[in-house]
Amino acid sequence: MVLFQLSACGGGGNSIQAPAPQSTGSSGPTVAELTAKCQALTGQVIAGVTVTATTRIEPVAGISTAGICKVSGTRAPFLDIEVDVPDNWSGRYFQNGGGGFDGTIYSAYTYNSSKAISAITPIITKYGAAYAASNGGNRAAVPAQAAPAVWLTGTSQAQASITDYAYLSIGTTTTFAKAVVSALYGKAPTKSYFNGCSNGGREGYIAAQRWPDQFDGIVAGCETEDMAGQTAKWLQIGGTAGTPAALTNAQYTAAYQAAVASCDSQDGVADGYLTNAAACHFSPALLQCGLSTANPNPTLCLSAAQVATLQEYMAPMTLSNGTVIYDGFNWSDFSEFGGAFGSLGGVYAFLATGDQSWLTPAKQATFNPDTDYGTIGLGLSQLGIDNDLQSIAQFVASGKKLISWHDNGDNLLSPNEHQRNDAKMTAIAQSMGLADPTTNTRLFLVPANMHGAGQDVTQIDWPGAIINWVEQGQAPTQLTYTFPTSATASRSLPVCLYPKAPHYNGSGDITSASNYTCM
């Protein structure tokens, strides 16, 4: 994790208060008792998970004021879990999702080059919550147990790992972690939360679907609630790989830079930063070689076929009858992920169908939405990988709280597709009797032009937002995104409710969120 100082909220929204950790009280266990209980967990099998190690993390000067019991557990075939419970436990439980194909644990701790703790997640230090995360059921550091390769072996362990990745690791982690908390404190958490981005966002929605009784509030970001459509879009773009229609990374970057130059001042300030990618309607056609508007460098301008590829990024994907199955992207620098679209789509298509040929560019180039989209969607649903809007809506309609968010210029998963499915979900919640869905769920746009920007809870205080909503009834209206602009400087911008975006007020420091208004 990269750590940044979180600044105050700007632009007239509700301030995000930091609920102080609550003391366990005189009747609670002492530090000595917690230390002994922590150590005694080693070797125990709890909720089917074997505790492989326990570590006492003592207070760290300038970082944490309370000690922490760190518990490591494992369950066959490859699921590893970390649970961290502080001495000043507030009664809260926070579970964190993974990312990509998972394979590693989003640990609560950051270590420096000397292997000393340099940071601990604010979920523990600021909010006094017990923290849990898993590797999603595979081990990236062990080639024979790493996804997606291990899934291709066809063994029973491979299938179990797929099931863990799809959904089961989430429930296992929840059950194990809450049992650990109860073993230490003799009681269950009073409030429980889930937080995740990308695949972690998918996992957040899965938690709402499958374990709604286990969570009071969920934060799910940079995911679309639609892996079938996402896979289709990845395959559509991936099918251009190795053909004259494929763009080089340099061409992707140059195209994005041209869009930024065209749309830069739309937010009220020309600063080389695109705060509202959704409002930038710069046409890829202007980049075609031979036009006066194209890049003069012949290696950076685009052929007609390459223009068509870039237009495909931004256009809705439809079936032949006009049905939209995926909404297009906003402007972003696709050089980071564009070349990986085929491999990502290929893995999900393989998971859905069992056909390993989907991993090849040749097969991806044959993708036909009319014949393949339904088959892939059915397979993903049967595996439990995809999200179910009906179940998510039920979570929201029941009174639980859900914060969804997306980077406005995400270059891996379209924010427009997320918004499209969020609208469907909230409509379903209304049909269930929730007159105003915003009382329980809200969608925010992060003014960033990459995938996953702002997922670090020291950049955006997602925990504070969901805690205040659940525990204080304070619905979030605006947050702040603080990010580095150099090794020594940072900038902050408002995180606005969809569809609003930051607009500079016309005076004051352009690097401060307080000088922007959500419009």
- Cα dihedral 427→429→435→438 (10° resolution): -80
pLDDT value of position 510: 97
Q: Are 180 and 266 contained in the same domain?
A: no
Does residue 466 fall inside a structural domain? yes
Determine the Cα–Cα distance for residues 286 and 270; give it in Å rounded to an integer.
Answer: 21
Burial of 202 (0-12, 13-18, 19+ CB in 10 A): buried
Nearest to 234 by CA among 386, 394, 344, 335: 344
Does residue 279 fall inside a structural domain? yes
- Which residues lie closer than 8 Å to 483 by C-beta, 6 or more apart? 4, 448, 453, 454, 459, 490, 491, 492
Angle (nearest 5°) at CA 101 between 96 and 103: 70
Around Cβ 190, how many Cβ atoms within 10 Å? 12
Reading the block at residue 439, the tokens are: 């009382």
- According to DSSP, the residues that pair with 95 across neighbouring strands are 132, 194
Tokens 């208004």 sit at which residue? 517
Q: Are 335 and 453 contained in the same domain?
A: no
Does residue 409 fall inside a structural domain? yes
Q: Are 371 and 420 contained in the same domain?
A: no
Helix ranges (H only) for 354-512 are 361-364, 374-383, 389-397, 415-431, 462-472
Q: Are 256 and 353 contained in the same domain?
A: yes
Does residue 501 fall inside a structural domain? no
pLDDT value of position 28: 84
Compute the half-sphere exposure of residue 81: CA atoms within 13 Å on the CB side of its CA: 33
The total number of structural domains that make up the chain: 3
Helices (H), strands (E): how many in the chain? 14, 18
Determine the Cα–Cα distance for residues 201 and 220; give it in Å rounded to an integer.
Answer: 4
Does residue 498 fall inside a structural domain? no
Reading the block at residue 409, the tokens are: 């210029």
Nearest to 63 by CA among 13, 126, 154: 126
Low-confidence ranges of the chain (pLDDT < 50): 1-25
Q: Are 311 and 437 contained in the same domain?
A: no
Type of residue numbered 24: T
pLDDT value of position 31: 96
* Enclosing H/E stretch for 495: strand 490-497
Determine the Cα–Cα distance for residues 194 and 129; give it in Å rounded to an integer.
Answer: 12
Does residue 234 fall inside a structural domain? yes
Type of residue numbered 462: W
Q: Are 353 and 430 contained in the same domain?
A: no
Q: How many residues does the chain have?
A: 519
Nearest to 482 by CA among 473, 471, 490, 472: 490
φ/ψ of 123, rounded to 5, equals -55, -35
- For residue 238, the enclosing domain spans 230-383
Does residue 503 fall inside a structural domain? no
Q: Are 169 and 158 in contact (CB under 8 A)?
A: no
Burial 223-247 (b: 16+ CB within 10 A, else e): bbbbbbbbbbbbbbbbbbbeeebbb
pLDDT value of position 384: 98
Does residue 504 fall inside a structural domain? no
Rg, Å, the chain Cα set? 23
Q: Are 234 and 378 contained in the same domain?
A: yes
Q: Are 357 and 348 in contact (CB under 8 A)?
A: no
Determine the Cα–Cα distance for residues 265 and 332; give it in Å rounded to an integer.
Answer: 16
Q: Are 35 and 173 contained in the same domain?
A: yes
Q: Please say which residue of 365, 383, 401 terminates a domain.
A: 383
pLDDT value of position 491: 98
Q: Are 218 and 159 contained in the same domain?
A: no
Q: Are 260 and 214 contained in the same domain?
A: no
Reading the block at residue 388, the tokens are: 């179910």
pLDDT value of position 105: 98
Q: Are 123 and 87 in contact (CB under 8 A)?
A: no
- Dmax (CA) of the chain: 78
Determine the Cα–Cα distance for residues 426 and 434; give it in Å rounded to an integer.
Answer: 9
Q: Are 273 and 136 contained in the same domain?
A: no
Q: Are 366 and 429 contained in the same domain?
A: no
Angle (nearest 5°) at CA 89 between 84 and 94: 55
What CATH number did the domain enclosing 446 receive? 3.40.50
